[in-house]
Amino acid sequence: MQLSRRKFLQMLSIAGASTIAASTGALSLPSLAFGAEEGSEEFRYSHCVMCNHGPHCGVKALVKDNKILRLEKRDGYNNNLLCAKGLSSTQDLYDPARVLYPLRRVNAKGSPGEWERITWDEALAEIAEKFNGIKEKHGAEKVLFMTGDPKEPRSALQRLAFTFGSPNMGTESSTCFKATELAVKLIVGPEWHTATSLATGAGPTPGKTKVCIIWGNNPGWSAPFSYNGLKTGQESGQVKYIVVDPRITPTAQNFADMHLQIRPGTDGALALCFANYLIEHDAYDKDFIENWAHGFEEYREYCTEFTLEKTAEICDIPVETLQKACDILVTEGSPIVCKSAAAFPHHTNGINNYRAIMLLIPLTGSLDVPGGLSIENEPINFDEWWGTFEFARSKELLPELDHLRVDRQYFPVWADTDQQGSLQLNKIPEYVENGDIRACLMLGGNAMMWPQSHEYQEAFKNMEFVVAGDFYNNAWTHDYVDMLLPVAMSFERAAPLTIFGRKVFLREPIVEPAGEARSDYRICCDIGTALGFGDVFWNGGPESDENCLREILRTIDVENPPTLEDLRAAHPDPIEIPLKGEAQSKKYELGLLRDDGQPGFSSPSGKVEFASEILREHGFDPLPVFNEPVYSPVSTPDVAKDYPLVMNSGSRVPYYTHSKERHLPWLNQFMPEPVVRLSKADAEERGLADGDMVRITSPVNDEGIVAKLEITNIVRPKTIDMFHGWHQANVNEIISRDFDPISGFPPFKEGLCQVAKA
Amino acid sequence: MTAKYGMVINLERCIGCYACVVACKQCWGTRPGVNYNMMNYVEWGEYPDAHQRYVSTMCNHCDNPPCVSACPSQATYKTDEGPVIVDFELCEGCGACVDACPYDHRFLITEDMTTSYEEVVMPCEEKSSKRVNVTEKCTFCYERLAEGLQPMCTVHCPGQCRIFGDVNDPESDISKYIAEKKPTQIAGTSLYYVVPENMDRSLVPPDLADAVSAQMSAKNEKKSTSGDAAKKAPEGVPAAAVAGVVGVAAVAAVGGGVAYKRSKRKSSFEQSE
């Protein structure tokens, strides 16, 4: 059918076009929906923070009259794609439920909130009065400064906490990245850049990497920006993939040359089995071990316990499958890479499980070589959160304040290896009960983050004063706070910058903050000023983001660091800080990893520690020993009689991040309510049908939680898959407060439970 | 030769991330429940040999579209280049095309339908919210094509699963892709799927002729039995068409819809509820 002139004109008039382009060929229809009206449209650039603030995927926003018409991916940029969440971020921005004004609670905490609107001046005055009052009476360290998932506020929040005089700044990394980081520190030493560049591993380099183990990770959903790198590796035909995961996931489907559907909590045994097999078959880097390993003999002997047969039994993997996976490692050779998830150590034996996995890297000669896992070259003094250590004032002020940290008594290994200035928060109920923490500033917090969440809600309730900053008023957290401040979203703020390694991008606010929302950086500066430190915070105000950015840039320890003007001139392109020398492999041979410039690592022995001296010093077994989960069919068979299913939580879905985004209509349609997944056999055994409402109980919670059942083949038999982040069915209420004694991490991905019709 | 636009969706690469569904929605400001692009989940097999896939479906821009034949006002038509689009000015909102579509991918916008948030109209919905009593559908982003841009779902697929272009041009990316990957064409339409080796053909949309005949069977069965029975698939026939006939009417009526259909059986597109 031809496009008649009449139709052509009609379509234009619907779109409101004021001009008609001439027909010049087959596709002569001019742009209709996009640019037809009067008024200028332009593209503005920022990045997305809909997942965990890490990847900073690029956003190109089409803006007209200060409104975002649509988002597109941003080219000429590192992570130049957008996922379902990123594409939904305007729904967050325009959500009518956003908190727009400072709110003060008028009724008692612990009940549904009744709030009165106050001004920012009133809010800041009260915060200052309360915090300074506590400082005077009890000490500044009694005030806790924390974030939940949001990473962007952290450098500014540290500057605030440490200037105020409290070392007690903590984050959600109490259950996330810091355990992988700690496990690696126990191998290569506490030097921060080395550990963080290795911690969660990386994908393969086609042509160099022989094997990529994707361990407890579903990057197809949790990190789409990394997917293409993995796919390119596979399509090169030169990399073999071993996927270790109890579930069938798109990652397992799309990659695995070998998929090991392991019993949750037994990954340490599997890693030790791999090591034993490699050692027995002489398929490891003897040269490296001879020169750079510490405690290898103890380790080698311990690994001999993990034969194929024994490991197959522990991990509940068929022995032939296990053999095939081991043979891939031996046949393909090295270097290998391991790609894992930040929160992989959600086990009571998490640190040692992860150490066992990461030790495969030095064992196979894959450490800081092309195709293996690389350590950063000439690291810049950026902290983990796009600030600098100098801006955050951590190195400057923490040494004096360190003895006032509240977590050392519980998790000394964490506290003693921490170079970031970040607390282990999982003992908040104890900190409050002991009187060690009396007040809190919480920027983006979530009481559901912790096992037995109600104990943490109670702790916040019992604090003298809690002020939270958030986009939304979430009852499960904000029913326990005294004040709620409106925070600006990603497209409304300029800080922090977008930094990928050595590339720095400007981040321009795309639209004005809604209502009276302020950026986290500005909130920290305003509070800092109200507390009496105006000189440190440039007296707060609307210039705060810019003032902070200038300070961050000024303190980058390179010659002629870029200025804000430089970044604006380059925008939307980045400025890349060049290396002084060349990128190097095997930096440990060149004295580039230690503060004293000597060859080796920053570990106590100066070598890669297969037996950790830091652990030995703290009274722990120095080897990466395997222990069963605190609750498991093997460690607690009596409990398993009543609770025969292995609990697993924390699986990702591509349209939510933790508890975020559930209220966004574009995403909520994909999973509108809490869901738990069971295999067909387990469901049939319990007389359950797809769609039934079921109750999930555990040894620590008989009442349990109720969720909708999905029967699926992607879940391992005798295991459940329960999604976290649902306030109506908070899986954390069936998880015990048994923490990994080294990291303090909770057992989100192990344990026992039962499922029955609700 | 006139351009003929087509799209290949590579299911070997697809990770079921739903970006395509949302990329489209946030560009076109579609109503809640209206998803020009849908995601269908399928699984088969049992532990330890279990499998899953995510199948994205959209309007197949049929060569000889049943919707075009069914339209009494000639509002919906097939452009020279292939995309089937709607002239909103001519559309009377009768819904005949919705019934006619054997793939369940046309949406009637009724007055009771809201915007994403009832209290506010998002900027991307300002134009679309003014359209009522018309049918909407995927247009292969026809307006973007005029500017030399690709469809939103194609550009924003993180897995780079979608290839779009002129299948009449042997030098185009899509023609080369088709020659190399030999995808399964949904015969009679503009859509192709690279179907993984271990996955059954019946788990992607049927060819147009099969879809139409399944739809006819379902209609006949519905006439002769109760409404509920019509939801079941006649044996051996993909139930998508059947479910679509019933389901879409329901969608249009209540303004709710599912962008995600789950399927457990080997041969069906059956909605799980």
Tokens in use for A435? Answer: 């009187």
Q: What is the pLDDT of residues A8-24, one digit of tens each?
A: 434 433 333 333 333 22
The answer for A 544-583 residues in CB contact with B (under 8 A) is none
Residues of B in contact with A96 (CB under 8 A): 117, 119-120
Of the candidates A31, A665, A714, which has its C-beta nearest B147's C-beta? A31
Q: What is the pLDDT of residue A16?
A: 35
* Residues in contact with A421: Cβ distance below 8 Å, sequence separation at least 6, in sequence order: A158, A162, A167, A169, A392, A394, A398
Q: What is the mean pLDDT of residues A651-657?
A: 94
B21 phi and psi, to 5 degrees? -60, -45
Taking CA–CA distances from B147, the nearest residue in chain A reads A31
Each residue's pLDDT tens digit, A328-345: 999 999 999 999 988 789
> From residue B140, how far is each of A73, A276, B249 by CA, in Å?
18, 55, 23
| pLDDT of A439 over the 50 cut | yes
Q: Which residues neighbour A535 within 8 Å (Cβ) at sequence distance 6 or greater?
A: none
Partner A contacted by B122 (CB < 8 A): yes
- Reported as a single tens digit per residue, the pLDDT across A705-729 is 999 999 999 899 999 999 999 999 9
How many Å apart are CA A83 and CA A73, to the nearest integer? 9
Asked whether the beta carbons of residue B47 and residue A3 sit closer than 8 angstroms, the reply is no
Q: Do A26 and B2 touch (CB under 8 A)?
A: yes
Tell me whether residues A670 and B45 touch, CB distance under 8 A.
Answer: no
Strands, E assignment, A453-560? 465-470, 483-486, 498-500, 503-505
Average pLDDT over residues A269-286: 98
Q: How many CB pairs under 8 A join A and B?
A: 185
B76-78/B84-86 β-pairing: antiparallel
The answer to whether A74 touches A447, Cβ cutoff 8 Å, is no
- Mind spelling out the 3-state secondary structure of A242-308? EEECCCCCHHHHHHCCEEECCCCCCHHHHHHHHHHHHHHCCCCCHHHHHHHEECHHHHHHHHCCCCH
Beta A103-105 vs A115-117: how paired, if at all?
antiparallel
Query: Could you say which of A1, A72, A250 has the minimum Cβ distance to residue B15?
Result: A250
How much of chain A exceeds pLDDT 90, in percent? Answer: 90
Residue of A nearest to B77 (CA): A1
Tell the burial category of A597 from Cβ atoms under 10 Å away from its Cβ (0-12, 13-18, 19+): exposed
State the maximum Cα–Cα separation within chain B, in Å, rounded to a whole number: 55
User: What single-letter DSSP state applies at residue A107?
Assistant: S
Q: Find how far residue B194's CA is from the centre of its chain.
A: 17
* Chain-chain contact of A73 with B156 (C-beta, under 8 angstroms): yes
Chain center to CA of A73: 22
Q: Does residue A440 have a pLDDT over 70?
A: yes
Q: What is the mean pLDDT of the segment spanning A49-78?
A: 93
Count Cβ atoms within 10 A of the Cβ of residue A629 and give its class: 0-12 exposed, 13-18 middle, 19 or more buried: buried
Of all residues in chain B, the one with the smallest CA distance to A250 is: B15
Find, in chain A, the residue whose alpha carbon is nearest to that of B118: A96
Q: Which residue of A has its CA nearest to B33?
A: A669
Distance CA A352, CA B273 (A): 44
Name B179's Cβ contacts closer than 8 Å, sequence gap at least 6.
none
In B, minimum Cα distance to A16 occurs at B127
Mutate to test the interface with B, among A19, A68, A69, A316 (most CBs of B within 10 A): A69
A60 touches chain B (CB under 8 A): no
Is the peptide bond preceding residue A96 cis, with omega within 30 degrees of 0? no
Residues A280 and A265: their CA atoms lie apart, in Å, by 25
From the list A64, A83, A713, the residue facing B46 with the nearest CB is: A713
Comparing alpha-carbon positions, the chain B residue that sits nearest to A717 is: B47
Residue A407, helix vs strand vs coil = coil
DSSP for A690-742, written as a single string: TT-EEEEEETTEEEEEEEEEEE-TTSPTTB-EE----GGG-GGGGS-----TT
Give the confidence band of A91 by pLDDT, cuts at 50, 70, 90.
very high
Instruction: Give the up-direction half-sphere exposure of residue A337: CA atoms within 13 A in the CB hemisphere.
Output: 30
Cα torsion A691, A693, A695, A696 to 10°: value is: 30
pLDDT at residue B231 above 70? no
Closest chain B residue by Cα to residue A27: B146
The predicted pLDDT at position A22 comes to: 32
Cα B11 to its chain centre, rounded Å, is 16
Question: Does B263 score more than 50 pLDDT?
Answer: no
Best of A66, A666, A692 to disrupt the B interface (most B CBs within 10 Å) is A666
CA distance A230 to A75: 20
- Whether B26 and chain A come into contact, CB under 8 Å, resolves to yes
The predicted pLDDT at position B272 comes to 30
Q: Kindly write down the DSSP assignment for every residue of B81-135, as one continuous string.
A: TS-EEE-TTT-----HHHHH-TTS--EEE-TT---SSSS---GGGTTGGG--SEE
SS3 (DSSP) at B262? strand
Residue A651 forms contact with B (CB below 8 Å):
no
Listed by number, the residues of chain B in 63-92 with a beta carbon closer than 8 Å to a beta carbon of chain A are 68, 77-81, 87-90
What sign does the dihedral A469-A470-A473-A477 (CA atoms) show?
A: negative
Alpha-carbon torsion, ordered A426, A427, A432, A437, to 10 deg:
-70
Interface check for B207 against chain A (CB to CB < 8 A): the answer is: no
Which residue among B26, B45, B119 places its CB closest to the CB of A666? B26
Residue from the list A221, A253, A670 with its beta carbon closest to the beta carbon of B51: A253
pTM score above 0.80: yes
Largest CA distance in chain A: 85
Residues paired with residue A336 on neighbouring β-strands, in sequence order: A211
Mean pLDDT in chain A? 93
Contact: B23, A82; criterion CB under 8 Å: yes
| Chain-chain contact of B47 with A655 (C-beta, under 8 angstroms) | no
Q: What is the predicted pLDDT for the residue at A140?
A: 98
Q: What is the DSSP letter of A599?
A: S
Q: How many C-beta neighbours within 10 Å does residue A338 have?
A: 26
| Contact at CB, A87 and B26, closer than 8 angstroms | yes
Do A192 and A392 form a contact (C-beta atoms < 8 A)? Answer: no
Q: Tell if the CB–CB gap between B87 and A90 is shorter than 8 Å.
A: no
Question: Is the confidence at residue A228, as pLDDT, over 90?
Answer: no
- The number of angstroms, rounded, from the C-alpha of B195 to the middle of its chain's C-alpha atoms is 17
Cα separation, A700 vs A737, in Å, equals 9
User: Looking at residue A231, what is its pLDDT?
Assistant: 87
Confidence of residue B225 (pLDDT cuts 50, 70, 90): low
CA distance A230 to chain B (A): 10
Hey, are the CB atoms on A713 and B21 less than 8 Å from each other?
Answer: no
- What the block records as the tokens of A498 is 């977008």
d(CA A304, CA A284): 15
CB-based contact (8 Å) between B124 and chain A?
Answer: yes
Residue contact B146–A15, C-beta within 8 A: no
Question: Which positions 88-117 of B are in contact with A (Cβ < 8 Å)?
Answer: 88-90, 116-117
pLDDT at A195: 95
Contact B45 A95 (CB under 8 A): no
The mean pLDDT of A315-326, rounded to a whole number, is 97
C-alpha–C-alpha distance, residues A142 and A432, integer Å = 9
Chain A partners of B258 at a C-beta cutoff of 8 Å?
669
**Crossing angle of the two packed helices A520-530 and A120-137, in degrees rounded to 10:** 60
Q: Which pLDDT belongs to residue A25? A: 29
Distance CA B44, CA A21 (A): 52
Q: Residue A76: its pLDDT value, please? A: 85
Q: Which residue of B has its CA nearest to A3?
A: B79
Subunit contact A84:B17, Cβ cutoff 8 A: yes
Whether A241 and chain B come into contact, CB under 8 Å, resolves to no
pLDDT above 90 coverage of chain B, percent? 76
Q: Bin A515: left if φ > 0, else alpha if -120 < ψ < 50, else beta.
A: left
| CB of A29 less than 8 A from some CB of B | yes
Which residue in the set B17, B146, B272 is minimally distant from A29, CB to CB? B146
What's the gap between Cα A143 and its chain centre?
Answer: 25
Q: Are the CB atoms for A730 and A245 separated by under 8 Å?
A: no
pLDDT tens sequence across A377-431: 999 999 999 999 999 999 999 999 999 999 999 999 999 999 889 999 999 999 9
Mean pLDDT, to the nearest integer, of B252-257? 27
Residues of chain A in contact with residue B123, where contact means CB-CB under 8 angstroms, are 64, 67-69, 90, 94
| Facing residue for B120 by CB, picked from A14, A94, A251 | A94
Residue A146's beta-bridge partner residues?
A170, A442
Window A:681-740, CB contacts with B under 8 Å: 690-691, 710, 712-714, 716-717
Task: Identify the band that residue A38 occupies on the pLDDT scale cut at 50, 70 and 90.
Answer: low
Strands A752-757 and A645-646: antiparallel
- Cβ A669–B260 below 8 Å, yes or no? yes
Q: Do A2 and B23 touch (CB under 8 A)?
A: no
For A166-220, the pLDDT digits (tens) are 999 999 999 999 999 999 999 999 999 999 999 989 999 989 999 999 999 999 8
What ipTM describes this predicted complex?
Answer: 0.90
Q: Does A106 touch chain B (CB under 8 A)?
A: no
pLDDT digits (tens, 9 = 90+) for B64-89: 999 999 999 999 999 999 999 999 99
The answer to whether residue A558 scores a pLDDT higher than 80 is: yes
Helix (H) or strand (E) holding B136: strand B134-136
Contact A83, A57 (CB under 8 A): yes
- Measured between CA atoms, the residue of chain B closest to residue A83 is B19
Which pLDDT score is estimated for A29? 30
pLDDT of residue B262: 47
